[in-house]
Amino acid sequence: MSEHSYALKQKAQLALGHHWGLLLTVGRCASDLGFSAYAVGGIPRDLLLDRPIRDLDITIEGDAQAVATALGQSHGGTVQVHAPFLTATWTPEGGPSIDMASTRSESYPTPGELPTVTATSLANDLQRRDFTVNTLALSLSPDNAGTLKATGKALEDLENQVLRVLHKRSFFDDPTRIIRAARFATRLKYTLHPDTQAQLLEAIEAGCIQSLGRERLGNELERIFQEANVPTSLQTLQCWGVLHAVHAHVQINPPALLEATEQLQKALQHHKDSGWSHPSQTDAWWALLATTLPREARAETTRLIPGNRHQQALWLDGPEQVAKLKEDLGQATLASEAGESLSNTTEAIRTCLWASGSNTCRHWLEWWATQGTQQKTAVNGKTLLSRGLPAGPKLGLALQAAQHACWNGDSTEAQLIAALSVFEAS
């Protein structure tokens, strides 16, 4: 490892503000315990690139769990310890979570499995990381805070905008690095070193993606869905054959679907700019990716979804919901027809529909966002019960009829008549 004389302390102070003070607090605590703390990977890399800092990840040359525990005792907040992985998280009161890991080496019992970790030096820790540009370490120790350490190729590859793995078996040991390569290449606008490109394609050809547990694979895809430029990452994964390796039916080559990925990005931005209710970006992208698979394939890959049963149900049934909405809204002539179709939909389904639907669909979606959800009938259950009408299932149908009349712009009296007609029909 080479030492670099310049320091990034002032740059870190400007970029991180209050968070830089928290990191220095970690550094002082580690020093008091006889350890050294470093901001490793994303923080020094993005400081050098003048990019926003996304995560506060700290490496402790020593015992990260002891540092986190001491911080919790002296500064308050909550502490979570993950003993098997030599990691811990400290979340100060009202502050961001700071993830800490002891410097460690990793061994992989079989490709794709979670690694077995053992404590080691900082130099060895940096050598087990994914790409050279992530092997930078920024000291947080009181005596040299802001001083940068780097492995041999880190600064060279950073300057040349190249992603390079540290050893030729890297993708075989941890196939999640294949997906991370697409994510970092898109975010940083970097190219893969020719040797790294060849090793990546070799690992895909050897079936390394299939060796990943569904949870790890799903989590890595979800990280891509949190990025600013998801379409490019998906196209990169498709070009490398990764999506086909996930499941034979995953295919984003058709121009219509490539257009849909770009339209979804625009739809999310449009919803945010308009102040409309919108899903998380990850939910929207899972919903769109589901449309690339037939139902049988979605059933086989449901465990990819890192979320809860609701999100898994969205994955399984979402494409059929979108298809039916396209049909129903395409035929709707009354607001009540559109309202009935849209009233039980999720934000992810509506956003996906905006991305892939017709102008007629978008017209009704805009109506729903700006008017439909605000138009509430003046007729309620108490109104109907006061007229001697019985409680029961028909009461709900009557209120639904009143709501339909409201959506169509009918008067309060007409809404009441529509509700009463449900009982008169029997």
pLDDT at 292: 77
* Angle at which helices 359-367 and 347-356 cross, to 10°: 150
- Per DSSP bridges, beta strands 87-91 and 78-82 are antiparallel
Q: In terms of domains, do 146 and 199 share one? A: no
Return all residues near 24 (Cβ < 8 A) that are at least 6 apart.
140, 142, 145
- CA-based nearest residue to 267, from 372, 187, 339, 361: 361
5 has pLDDT over 50: no
- Is 316 within 8 Å of 299 (Cβ atoms)? yes
353: β partners: none
Would you state the structure tokens that stand for residue 279, as one six-digit string?
Answer: 């899903």
The pLDDT > 70 percentage for the chain reads: 94
DSSP track, 263-283: HHHHHHHHHHHHT-----HHH
Does residue 55 share a domain with residue 198?
A: no
Chain-centroid distance of CA 335 in Å reads: 35
371: Cα within 13 Å, side-chain hemisphere: 14
User: Is pLDDT larger for residue 63 or for residue 111?
Assistant: 63
Say if residue 166 is in the same domain as residue 116. no
- Please tell me the predicted confidence (pLDDT) of residue 355: 87
Is the predicted pLDDT of residue 388 greater than 90, yes or no?
no
Looking at the fold, whether 387 and 366 belong to one and the same domain comes out as no
Q: Is residue 49 part of a domain?
A: yes
- Between CA 423 and CA 426, with CA 425 as vertex, the angle to 5 degrees is 70
At residue 111, does pLDDT exceed 70? no
Last residue of a domain, one of 177, 211, 246: 246
**What is the average per-residue pLDDT within 105-116?**
65
Average model confidence (pLDDT) across the chain: 89
Are 182 and 240 in contact, with CB atoms under 8 Å apart? yes
Q: Quick one: tokens of 120?
A: 């080691």
pLDDT value at residue 113: 60
Cβ pair 352, 264 in contact under 8 A = yes
Tell me, yes or no, whether 375 lies in a domain: no
Within a domain: 392? yes
Distance, in Å, from the CA atom of 47 to the CA atom of 136, rounded to the nearest integer, reads 11
Between 108 and 63, where is the model more confident? 63
C-alpha Rg value of the chain to the nearest Å: 27
**Would you say residue 125 lies in a domain?**
yes
Q: Which of 136, 158, 180 is the last residue of a domain?
A: 158
Q: For residues 344-363, give the mean pLDDT.
A: 91
Mean pLDDT is lowest, of 145-149, 280-284, 291-295, 393-397, for 291-295
pLDDT at 290: 86
Q: Find the domain containing 128 and state its range.
A: 2-158
Same-domain status, 113 and 55: yes
Q: Does 392 score more than 50 pLDDT?
A: yes
For 196-218, how does the pLDDT look when each residue is reduced to its tens digit (9 = 90+)?
999 999 999 999 988 887 778 88
pLDDT digits (tens, 9 = 90+) for 30-77: 999 999 999 998 899 999 999 998 888 899 999 999 999 999 999 999
Is 397 a member of any domain?
yes
- Tokens 């697409």 — which residue? 182
Over residues 94-123, the mean pLDDT reads 79
Predicted model pTM = 0.81
Q: How much of the chain exceeds pLDDT 90, in percent?
A: 55
Mean pLDDT of 226-234: 88
Residues 309 and 364 in one domain: yes
Contact 172, 111 (CB under 8 A): yes
* 383-399: average pLDDT: 88
Mean pLDDT (whole number) for 128-154: 91
Count up the domains in the chain and report the number: 4
- Looking at residue 56, its amino acid is L
Q: Which of 132, 158, 184 is the last residue of a domain?
A: 158
- What is the reported pLDDT for 342? 96
Kindly state whether residue 179 falls inside one of the protein's structural domains: yes
CB atoms within 10 A of CB 226: 13
Tokens of 222: 């979800």
